A and B are shown apart, each in its own frame.
Chain A
């Protein structure tokens, strides 16, 4: 069965759904809130069993994140529970599994942090991160750096309360708190190689995509409900064919995105499938956003309805872990490596 979750996957989905309904419409981005997420097992979703985790894989991530997204519960799960936990427990990861809340610093344009001193596992780094999502609850930030043209990229962790770290809070479009972070000669510790970093980012990107699918489902459910109940000109809005057809197009785009994300989940976040999901989600999010607001009319512009919150989060998610153009490039280069023999089927 490809599309029916297994018993353990259903358990993850149902547990997270219940939790999400209890916290519907809330941000869980503080350190305190993170403890609540940890209680329900989300913090340990992908940790191996010997580290007390649920050993969740791609499909578990998709089910959990869709459930959070659907209830518009926004939490830095991709950052801490997926990226951080994966990096911390991957081969070459030097830090004790899951105790630290690691914030991935994806620098703009694929830039790397620069060395400003030290060698081996203990170095000093300088970098400028424009937005750190989930900053409020983070304890450490992970950056990618390289010594010189011949050296391999590596991932380093920086304690956010340590010397050489300056953080300026920024308000994100979805209402959450992020930060711009400057590192200047900040002490940093080696936590893993480039493959571990890449893998962690792919899993976290999958999580963000799945959250977006959950949000889109919610927006379309709300829009469908509006079309079924709102009367204008003496008739239900949903009786207008122009609106029906546009609603269907948004629905089709969402379904395709959900299928790409499911594919990426089944593949346990294989790089190419994650890129594909990212591209398809971005395409759908534009259409779903536009139609959800337009069909709700002026109410769609307000903070009164769930859709306002969902739309703003979709906009933020379109920027987490790199913009879509980069993912399309990566998809194309994986095709080249595949000698053009790959097939979509």
Chain B
């Protein structure tokens, strides 16, 4: 956000920009800058450069390695990374597992797990969704039974993004079969090379392998890997999902995609002049909407910094951000015209500029599903606005 910044904010942003100019190689930019195109070796290399500067886990408490930046500066940092088209970071360890461990983990767990998140020596995945428990997460059926010093886990997870690349997982499992659905769930940190874990790939419509099924067959995990208190996993998960939705709108990356669309528009020849005019007007409407959404984001940050809780704001930003991303790739596909029909880059200047668009377009159908389906978010906003009916 360029506008409405105080001198100290501009100075901070300049510091980030100077760091990016020095530490982010230009050949790393634009290759894997969205979550549709996570490139794990590149992520690790980039993450380590951020860690060397002390900037890999900005939002954590300072005592565990955080930066102490205000929410506004954390936001500006994320915007600058996206604006530079830096490799998209894999945030499951830094934004989800880490904050939960900082808040609820034992001292031993903090010592064991936090340093390798900070330095990207570990890659984490999220073991939440199951075949019978997607949006309705509380109906999950994977069980963890206490046997001596271990939990023995049996069951199945699904839609586990990058499980095949991860070495650790935070996992929700049922530890009390008698309790109400939300009350009998625990959170357990497990290693992906533990005997009894089987990973099977799921290929998605964008042609890539991000998603997996993960099967647990008598998987033994030391009880010390239980987060916090047994049967309190649901409250930890809610804490974590709030973190997941922060910044999920990723407006800066959407705005960069729009830059590409405006640049590509100038490449259309005059046989498509009328169409170009129509697409340009739609693109302008999207830019206006992004600007409005970024003001909403700033309002949420301001309220956050004043200690006010706005229950509906993360859900609103999640819906708006995902719908903007989808509208953007749809417009990109319209602009590509015939070139949009093939999976790989067409050998035209237009196709080159928008080479990622066909796969991104397919991938981002998921944006209104992941991070809590948009229908679930709408339900939460309605409850905040109308009360419990």
Interface centre among A256, A280, A331 (most CB of B within 10 A): A256
Interface residues in B251-274 (C-beta closer than 8 Å to A): 251-252, 255, 258-259, 262-263
Instruction: Name the CB-closest residue of B to A266.
Output: B4
- Distance, CA A239 to CA B388, complexed state (A): 9
Contact of A256 among B292, B298, B381, B389 (CB under 8 A): B292
With A228-B386, A248-B381, A260-B291 as given contacts, are A332 and B296 in contact (CB-CB < 8 Å)? no
Q: Which of B281, B292, B316, B382 contacts A260 (CB 8 A)?
A: B292
Q: Are A245 and B288 in contact (CB under 8 A)?
A: no
Residues of chain B from 60 to 93 with CB closer than 8 A to chain A in the complex: 79, 83
| Nearest opposing residue in chain A for B1, CB measure | A345
A260 touches B320 (CB 8 A): no
How far apart are B382's CB and chain A's nearest CB, in angstroms? 4
Q: Counting CB contacts under 8 A, is A2 at the interface?
A: yes
Contact-residue bracket for chain A:
35 or more
B22 to chain A, nearest CB (A): 23
User: In the bound complex, how far is the Cα of B384 from the Cα of A248, in angstroms?
Assistant: 10
A256 to B287, CA, bound (A): 12
**Proximity bits, A84-114, B CB within 8 Å = 1, else 0:** 0000000000000000000000000000000
Per the bound structure, the CA–CA distance linking A335 and B263 in Å amounts to 12
Q: Give A148 to B26 CA distance when docked, in angstroms.
A: 53
Rounded to whole angstroms, the CA-CA distance of A87 and B83 in the bound complex is 40
Answer yes or no: B309 CB below 8 A from chain A CBs: no
Asked whether B262 lies within 8 Å of A340 as measured between CB atoms, the reply is: yes
User: In the complex, are the beta carbons of B295 and A244 less than 8 A apart?
Assistant: no
CB contacts (< 8 Å) of B385 on chain A: these are 224, 247-248, 251
Type the 1/0 row for B368-388, where 1 means its CB is closer than 8 Å to any CB of A.
000000010011011001110
In the complex, residue of chain B having the shortest beta-carbon distance to the beta carbon of A257 = B292
Q: Is the CB of A280 within 8 A of B284?
A: no
Report if B290 contacts A (CB, 8 A): yes
| In the complex, B187 has a CB within 8 A of chain A | no
Task: Looking at the assembled complex, report how far the CB atom of A58 sits from the nearest CB atom of chain B, in whole angstroms.
Answer: 13
Total A-B pairs in contact (CB under 8 Å)? 114
Which positions in A face B, CB cutoff 8 Å? Answer: 1-4, 224, 227-228, 236, 238-239, 241, 244-245, 247-249, 251-252, 255-257, 259-260, 262-263, 266-267, 276, 279-280, 283, 328, 331-332, 335, 340, 343-345
Given A2-B302, A252-B319, A331-B284, 15 extra CB contacts under 8 A: A1-B302, A3-B302, A227-B386, A228-B386, A244-B382, A245-B382, A248-B382, A249-B378, A252-B320, A256-B296, A259-B295, A263-B295, A343-B83, A345-B251, A345-B291
Residue positions of B touching A, CB distance < 8 A: 1-4, 79, 83, 251-252, 255, 258-259, 262-263, 280-281, 284-285, 287-296, 298-299, 302-303, 316, 319-320, 375, 378-379, 381-382, 385-387, 389
**Sample (26) of A-B pairs whose CB atoms are under 8 Å apart:** A2-B299, A3-B302, A224-B385, A224-B386, A227-B389, A228-B386, A236-B389, A238-B382, A244-B379, A248-B381, A248-B385, A249-B378, A259-B296, A260-B288, A260-B291, A279-B284, A328-B285, A335-B284, A335-B287, A340-B262, A343-B83, A343-B255, A344-B287, A344-B288, A344-B290, A345-B291
